[in-house]
Structure 1
């Protein structure tokens, strides 16, 4: 950015603009612990300036100025992903949208809410509770993830099984398009609001979202079932996901995950070496009683054991999955969109890789549609161990390959999953996305370098050969040593 543009933005935003190197450095990464030697050949992650707008009009002023000077704009709120979705790749402006966190309206008659895109799902849930309303769905990262940020991702999480993805609950969204214009997008507008789902900040800046919500349920019930193998667990999941009155949440964990939870004092010894499925339901008292009976029928049909009394504790821990990081300096892993029919085979293949490589693999996830799960498989990592970290990345590819074997694809793309674009989209679908991007953002200023095409070093052919060679070498990976750090 030229000095004149920087100074103009500083004058416009005062202490809500910063060029301080120390402050800007915090925006150079997200939850992914990626060493500089891997990032620097691919991206310029240090923004020239960070701006913190508080209104749609201020966002429009930023984007209009950026468009006039061809300055990249990357929107960032919670930064709770691991794919560099919200990390700039070409410098420019970081638009910190956390200040767009006001509540606009709550309509208790029509069960709708309109909120600023920077409001967290946790805060929105608390606001709705005062009006005896509840969210239809929310992410497991609700305490930090924002309304606009989750819409810009794929929007699947807790509550998606009965209520669908977030975009099905969105009535309208206010967005600043790449030319600086302010638009209200709906299901029938051009472009439609649906184009924002999974756009990852590449089509504009979401500033407000209007959502369907629901009356606050009068009752809840939480069960936890244990299974001796992944096949029985999958059978239970298929039975539960097919129920007419679907549970609000189905969350599963493998023995590796449950054993670690036990070591951390978060799970029982009884659950430590088995597969488990949390069955969470809400509604009227009559509905939750019926759901409880349905849970037991599904469990008995699939040879599951009821871990009486543990379901409530599992529910209370629903926002703390990444507590697993306590075992080591950090984590590497994958988040995969996987057909439920391939879940058992995927978990068994992961267990086979664990027996061979002893990485300390652990898997958990949510059933988000009757046919699909979001699966997370992780292992310890230490970005200070250069060679070991590189080899850890090779095993991340192995996990993606296992997922693809059973019909899976990455959940979210950003920068780091661009080598797998062909697994996420058909060639025709990807071309359509690129044309939409070109139409709305002809200058390519909105979150450039993400989602649509892999950079040279991440091109599939080069990336695959390199990662496969690394994975085939003698194991030097030391990230798994975290168990001694408890």
Structure 2
């Protein structure tokens, strides 16, 4: 369908393009899309816009609403769930130019920041002023404020300071009809974690903290999964800033990326980090020492722990291990972490890497990952079936897939819960009656054929049939 995008040139100048090559660059996110998706959705936008002010966003939304054109907000595309990939063509709104404001109030310990500012830059500016973020994403060098606030919001520091959503004191957002509106802390829930389906966040006010006087990372290793699972729960009681972990296969992948020919000499490792004033950190380290003495725990040199902590901003370097890396993203009860990891290990995948973090007193993120090759159609298509198994393992343990986007839409009822889904659906219909903003995401696909394909029962059946078909195909060597 042809739209008169020239009307937007008066607003945006050269910050709008309909060039096919440029638009094609916005047809995927961090993960590759199987070609079959292009039969279900129009993933290449008709136009890409790069607004610099809320007023420009407003004009784009008014144009889109008048012409019934879908708008897909996009930040740095650091997710792999298809949440910022268009499904109906339309307009992709690149928010990266909305990065012109960082206003710090040292007395209140707050910051007002534009949605396009990346988290690492924000942390650097805060640190210069003696302040620090409470929590931030591991993808901080590229993830933007608005992008991460639109996600579930678990990251580095969440264990101590809870999800980033709880640090938002207020915000400004542009609604689907183009209205620019401010929202209080009590109203933030309409947009936080909603994956850009109800409004476009343009500016937020965040709580921040004093820059910690001391930071103390410690790297522990384990020869047994059971010991690892027991100790990680003990560590939570010490109230550290962050706990992350990885298995041997993940560590081997990282060594391969770095060109290190040595093999990991552990089954699991934990990086636990304490921060705060010197006295507080010293007391925590003393308690950690008692846990170390319990036996069955290896302790890596302090220099290695510091290096691992310094590398927390580079988790995606593992993609270089490719050619293609697929990963699940699960939120599970901490008490069931050992069970979940054991079940994941029974999936027929060679070299399944697992890494994750503890995000609350009773919840953990688990990211199982494995290698495939998107250039080999059969291998890639059949490799995708494992992602459903991973999600099902999380659900069976009382957990959920972490995030929805497009790929996890068959699990939306599990992720949001029956009442939550009803509430969010009602809000979407009220705020966006024409389904302009990021359609087919978060609340499930609405187009006729995709809604059938991504229906939980049909999705389950197709993955079941794929599993049956995979056995003879693997036997004859057509897939791995």
Q: How many residues align?
A: 471
Residue deviations 1:397-433 (CA, integer Å, cap 9, x gap): 1122222221221111111111122321322221111
Residue deviations 1:328-371 (CA, integer Å, cap 9, x gap): 21111210011111111111122222xxx343210000101010
Quote the offset at 1:466 in angstroms: 1.4
- Residue 3 of structure 1 aligns to a residue whose secondary structure is coil
Q: How far apart are the structure 2 equivalents of 1:330 and 1:322?
A: 12
Match among 380, 399, 411 for residue 402 of structure 2: 411
Q: How far apart are the structure 2 equivalents of 1:149 and 1:247?
A: 26
Residue deviations 1:367-412 (CA, integer Å, cap 9, x gap): 0101001111110121111111121011111122222221221111
- Structure 1: which 5+ runs fail to align? 482-486
Match among 177, 188, 194 for residue 193 of structure 1: 188
Quote the offset at 1:262 in angstroms: 3.0
**Residue correspondence of structure 1 range 348-367 to structure 2 within 5 A:** 348-353=342-347, 357-367=348-358
Mean Cα deviation higher: 143-152 or 261-270 = 261-270
Match among 297, 319, 343 for residue 313 of structure 2: 319
Residue pair 2:332, 2:398 contacting (<8 A) in 1 also: yes
Q: How far apart are the structure 1 equivalents of 2:247 and 2:188?
A: 37
Match among 249, 252, 255 for residue 259 of structure 1: 252
Mean Cα deviation higher: 335-344 or 422-431 = 422-431
Does 2:104 align with 1:106?
yes
Match among 446, 460, 474 for residue 471 of structure 2: 474
Q: How far apart are the structure 1 equivalents of 2:301 and 2:177?
A: 57
Cα–Cα, structure 1 residues 264 and 296, in superposed 2: closer, same or farther, change >3 Å? farther
Q: How far apart are the structure 1 equivalents of 2:430 and 2:117?
A: 29
**Residue correspondence of structure 1 range 149-164 to structure 2 within 5 A:** 149-164=147-162
Q: How far apart are the structure 1 equivalents of 2:214 and 2:262?
A: 29
Residue pair 1:27, 1:46 contacting (<8 A) in 2 also: yes
Match among 305, 308, 323 for residue 329 of structure 1: 323
Q: How far apart are the structure 2 equivalents of 1:480 and 1:296?
A: 48
Cα–Cα, structure 1 residues 344 and 49, in superposed 2: closer, same or farther, change >3 Å? same
Cα–Cα, structure 1 residues 264 and 22, in superposed 2: closer, same or farther, change >3 Å? closer
Give the aligned partner of residue 382 of structure 1.
373
Give the aligned partner of residue 292 of structure 1.
285
Quote the offset at 1:158 in angstroms: 0.3
Give the aligned partner of residue 240 of structure 1.
235
Give the aligned partner of residue 24 of structure 2.
25
Quote the offset at 1:238 in angstroms: 1.1
Residue pair 2:212, 2:277 contacting (<8 A) in 1 also: yes
Residue pair 1:391, 1:476 contacting (<8 A) in 2 also: no
Does 2:298 align with 1:305?
yes
Quote the offset at 1:193 in angstroms: 0.7
Residue pair 2:225, 2:267 contacting (<8 A) in 1 also: no
Residue pair 1:35, 1:384 contacting (<8 A) in 2 also: no
| TM-score normalised over the length of structure 1 | 0.93
Does 2:3 align with 1:3?
yes
- Residue 406 of structure 2 aligns to a residue whose secondary structure is coil
Cα–Cα, structure 1 residues 267 and 234, in superposed 2: closer, same or farther, change >3 Å? farther
Residue pair 1:259, 1:272 contacting (<8 A) in 2 also: no
Quote the offset at 1:62 in angstroms: 1.0
- Residue 40 of structure 1 aligns to a residue whose secondary structure is helix
Does 2:460 align with 1:464?
yes
Residue pair 1:75, 1:447 contacting (<8 A) in 2 also: yes
| TM-score normalised over the length of structure 2 | 0.94
Residue pair 2:34, 2:381 contacting (<8 A) in 1 also: no
Q: How far apart are the structure 2 equivalents of 1:12 and 1:182?
A: 16
Q: How far apart are the structure 1 equivalents of 2:231 and 2:225?
A: 10
Residue pair 1:10, 1:18 contacting (<8 A) in 2 also: no
Mean Cα deviation higher: 429-438 or 290-299 = 290-299
Q: How far apart are the structure 2 equivalents of 1:469 and 1:333?
A: 21
Q: How far apart are the structure 2 equivalents of 1:479 and 1:408?
A: 34
Quote the offset at 1:275 in angstroms: 0.5
Residue pair 2:409, 2:442 contacting (<8 A) in 1 also: yes
Quote the offset at 1:453 in angstroms: 2.1
- Structure 2: which 5+ runs fail to align? 446-450
Residue pair 2:102, 2:122 contacting (<8 A) in 1 also: no
Residue pair 2:222, 2:266 contacting (<8 A) in 1 also: no
Quote the offset at 1:241 in angstroms: 1.2
- Residue 338 of structure 1 aligns to a residue whose secondary structure is strand
Cα–Cα, structure 1 residues 298 and 386, in superposed 2: closer, same or farther, change >3 Å? same
Cα–Cα, structure 1 residues 14 and 144, in superposed 2: closer, same or farther, change >3 Å? same
Match among 337, 340, 348 for residue 343 of structure 1: 337
Cα–Cα, structure 1 residues 59 and 288, in superposed 2: closer, same or farther, change >3 Å? same
Q: How far apart are the structure 1 equivalents of 2:161 and 2:259?
A: 29
Quote the offset at 1:271 in angstroms: 4.3
Residue pair 1:156, 1:166 contacting (<8 A) in 2 also: yes
Mean Cα deviation higher: 127-136 or 260-269 = 260-269
Give the aligned partner of residue 484 of structure 1.
none
Q: How far apart are the structure 2 equivalents of 1:269 and 1:382?
A: 25
Q: How far apart are the structure 1 equivalents of 2:31 and 2:319?
A: 12
Mean Cα deviation higher: 294-303 or 97-106 = 294-303
Q: How far apart are the structure 2 equivalents of 1:457 and 1:374?
A: 28
Give the aligned partner of residue 448 of structure 2.
none
Residue pair 1:77, 1:118 contacting (<8 A) in 2 also: yes
